[in-house]
Structure 1
Amino acid sequence: MTFKPFQAAAALCVLAACSAGESRSNAAEQGRQAARPADRPFAVVDVARFDTPWAMAFLTGSGRPLLDLALVSEKAGRLWLVDSRTGRRWPVGGVPPVKVAGQGGLGDVVVHPEFVVNHRVYLSFVEAGRGGTSGAAVGYGTLDLRNRERPALRDFRVIWRQQPKVSGDGHFSHRIAFAPDGSMFVSSGDRQKMAPAQDRSSDLGKIIHMTAEGQRIGGAFHTLGHRNVLGLAFTADGRLWANEMGPRGGDEVNLIERGRNYGWPRASYGSHYDGAPIPDEHRSRGFEEPKVWWTPSISPAGMIIYSGDLFPQWKGDILMGALSGQALIRVDVNGAAARKGDRWDMGERIREVEQGPGGEVYLLEDGGRLLRLTPA
């Protein structure tokens, strides 16, 4: 089923009217630098509340926002269309069945770069396998907005499945990012199995490059040696950046470059949960050094590259949530280099960061609140 652009625009208008290598001693120094407080340059507005929200995406295409409407996913398997100004929301039908356990459930939501033409919405989620196993998956459907009270995804199809499916309910990753050329990148976590991140025959612990239809580009994977990548975003010059949860310490921000090995579990600036050390030598052993890292952990989550005008001092920088760190974090990006910037205490676990159509910044808390940030 397809919809012409003017049909989608009309439906959106109806909805709007209805709602009106370094050493470990240097690691400790990096951690101290990251902890410096900064005054908030923003005001916070409570917009809406959800149940275990995971991701958010505004309905945009060809660089143009479609009013103030966004999609919000909940881990329990629900998808919502929400007016980001008023907080009014509508449940979206047609979401695929998901397995909800541990860290798994409905994950990312991303719209196609040409959404205004094809109305395509991509979801990542966890699906059950045989014998108690599970794995991440990515698919897309067409967003039907003709009935203002009953938006729905039509003709949903799965285009990627994480292989192999394994036991356990953690480290799915399953973040999605579209490149400037319209191709797609998906993060595939190590599923808490560690060793498969270095196994070139497995999807686990990799970042995968594919077409918007799911055909792989450049081989089985784009990069390897990842633990749990929960943030993916492109800069205006086409560089792909990712954040990644380390074990005990060693959370990272990486510049993602094809064919590179990012070291997990053979190299990390963190240590195992039982206290066993992990070698921190990266480059001398053929692994990529993280551009920025944190010890102790902040537990990085969703991230964007900010491009708006409301906060010109942030333009081109990474904004990302911190879960255990309960903060909004800015990483100063300059070409292929990055360094720690600001860290604003939010008092809650920040799961997702998204940019609004006017340059506002939206945050989703694990506890359920959708917050809007504007200049103070």
Structure 2
Amino acid sequence: MDLRFTPEEEAFRDEVRAFLADKLPAHLSRKVKHGLAMTKADMEEWHGILHAKGWLASHWPERHGGPGWTVVQRSIFEDESARANAPRIVPFGVNMLGPVLIKYGSDEQCQRILPRILDGTDWWCQGYSEPGAGSDLASLKTSAVRDGDHYVVNGQKTWTTLGQYADWIFCLVRTDPTAKAQEGISFLLIDMKSPGIEVRPIVLLDGDPEVNEVFFTDVRVPVANLVGEENKGWTYAKYLLTYERTNIAGVGSSIAAFDRLKSIAGLLTRGGRPLADDPLFAARLARIEIDLANMATTNMRVIAAAANGGAPGAESSMLKIKGTEIRQAITALTRRAYGPYAQPFIPEALEDGYNGEPVGPEDAGSAAPTYFNYRKLSIFGGSNEVQKNIISKMIVGL
């Protein structure tokens, strides 16, 4: 299998680099580089720039407003964006719901919803996890009972990322309580302005209300907002999670973060010499670099297979496991590198324009909150323990 880029793909890489150099606002890349808080306006600004270029929905077909890129082009774009410290694309509408609607939604749903995702009119959030149904998602209890032309939804979702900003939520709901767990679930689109919806923030260790609880009390949802067939939602959810897990691996983001870590290790000193020259620290750097190189090669194999018509199976779970472990290792070692500068932080220091007393290098302020925030990576999108079970079943049949 040839894992090298073709001349055409290298030319595309040059085009992406030129675009990022010209169009990526410096104030946004600075925030990303130094781990500063991103506002909704920041995310909307980058969303709009990519949409104007036609590069927002990188894996959508051209007929729905995507650029029609190959899987290799998508990978190049994601890697170069990470290296340039571009903000991440908020994934829920573009990277999660969009592909599901294109594959399983009706023509009417695609025509009505997809353009509003592209132009930023509607922000989406994900309603999967519940207090008693996280990794064991099939045990979800939120119910949707048919009442004429509507479903009546009751229940609770949790860990709903950016739900405080969302106009709509795509939800897994139980429409047949008598069926086997996976067979009684449907995929429903719900307007967050509907009567009976309450959003409560959950403040994380870094002080940010990034995630939320969402409560549904007798919420009426038109039957027209059902995606695909009733009780077939588990099929659509698995398709969506394949996209999410591969994205969580974050190969490009890990490479960019590791490059910054090596730079930090070359600048900071311990005992009068660069930290990178400390044998123990250098060994830890080397371990991450080896794992990262191996993951990047595996990712390229998956991309090459997909370019030839293959579909990721167990590989997406493998990338999710190793990718999240590497990202956690990088944040842990970054925190260790800053030492006392990465002690409990001043929340205001993560706000752009903070003029208080600096504590250590500029990046040090985000080291601790990023470390704590990334503890979640091995849990969400299906915990790594669950991914190992998936790999066992798909490869060795256990």
TM-score over 0.5 (shorter chain): no
**Higher helix proportion (structure 1 or 2):** 2
| Rg (Cα) greater in structure | 2
User: TM-score w.r.t. structure 1 length?
Assistant: 0.24
